[in-house]
Structure 1
C-alpha cells in the first residue's frame, strides 16, 4: 500500500471474488480527532470515503479483476473523483467500520468502484462511484465534468465524421499523457498508447 500510518485506514482486508472488504476500528487516537471536533470526537466522513478509496487501491494492487493483465503499480494509483456520496451515521471512537468495494467498470487506466461502510447493521456511508486512475498519468484539460468525462468515455480519433482527427472540439479526448519512467516496459511511453482513443 502506498498509504502508511498515520493515514492508513485499513486493518484487515479480504478479497472475495469481485469485491474487497476491510475493517477499521476507530481508536480515538487518530491525530485529526483532536480538532474534529474539540471535546466531541467524530470520525470525518471525508476520511471514511478515503478509506473506501484505499480499499480500491488494495484491490488494484492485487490485480484480481479479469480485465487486469497484471497488478497495478503502487506508485501509479491516484484518486480521480467520487460521486453519489451519502453519509447516514456519525462514527465515534470505539466504532468498527466494515467496508466493502466492488468494481463497476475497469479499463486501463481507469477503475470505478462502488463502496459502502457499515457499523454493525447500520449503514454509515456509501459512494456510488469512486474513480481511481492507475499506470497512467493524464492531464485533464479544464475542470468541468465534461473534461473529466474524457477519462471515463474516450472519444474516438477517427470515424467521427469531421475528418480532422479530433473529437469535434479540436482536442484528442482532452488527455495529454505524460512520459512514464522507462523502467516499466509494460507501460508505453508518451505517444505510443492509443488504447484510450482507438
Structure 2
C-alpha cells in the first residue's frame, strides 16, 4: 500500500489536481490499483455542475494517468526516491477513451491499470475506472518518463 504522503513524494501534483488518494496494489512493470474518494468538496463541482454535480471524465482520465505514473516511477526506480528528482511522466496520447457511467460525490473511484507495452522510457497502459465494481471509464494511455 502507498499512502498519500508517499504519493506526494512521487507525483509533482498538488491540490486541486492531485487525483489519487491511495495505491492499494502494485506489481512492478505489470499493474497498479489505486483510488480517489470523490467528495462534494471537490473544487470542480463549483462549475460542473452546481445543481447536479458530476465528476468530469477528463478528471477520471487524469486520475488514471497519475496512478499509472506511480507504476512507471516505482518500476523504474523502486524505493530509491533520490533518483526520481527532476523526473516527470509526460502524457503522449489518450486512445480508446470511453465513459460508461456518471461519477458523483460519495463515490469511491477505483483506478486499475495494466501495462500493455513498456520500451525504454515509454509506457502504454490500459486503464479502467470503477465505482462499486461497475466500469465507469476506460482508456489506453501512453506516457514517457523524462527529465
The equivalences for 1:61-100 within 5 A come to 61-63=73-75, 75-100=87-112
Kept in 1, the 8 Å contact 2:100–2:135? The answer is: yes
- Secondary structure of the 1:134 match is strand
**Is 2:16 the counterpart of 1:2?**
no
More displaced, 102-111 or 43-52? 102-111
- How many pairs are equivalent? 130
Kept in 1, the 8 Å contact 2:32–2:113? The answer is: yes
Residue 117 of structure 1 and its aligned partner are, at CA, apart by 0.5
Kept in 1, the 8 Å contact 2:90–2:146? The answer is: no
Question: Structure 1 unaligned runs (5+)?
Answer: 66-70, 137-198
Q: Kindly report the root-mean-square deviation, in angstroms, between the aligned alpha carbons of the 2 structures.
A: 1.8
- Secondary structure of the 2:102 match is coil
With structure 1 as the length reference, what TM-score do the two structures score? 0.61
Q: For 2:32 and 2:76, how far apart are their aligned partners in 1?
A: 10
- Runs of 4 or more, structure 1, over 2 Å off, are 71-76
Higher helix share: 2
Q: For 2:17 and 2:70, how far apart are their aligned partners in 1?
A: 14
**Is 2:142 the counterpart of 1:131?**
yes
With structure 2 as the length reference, what TM-score do the two structures score? 0.81
Relative contact order, CA 8 A, sep 6+: which one is greater? 2
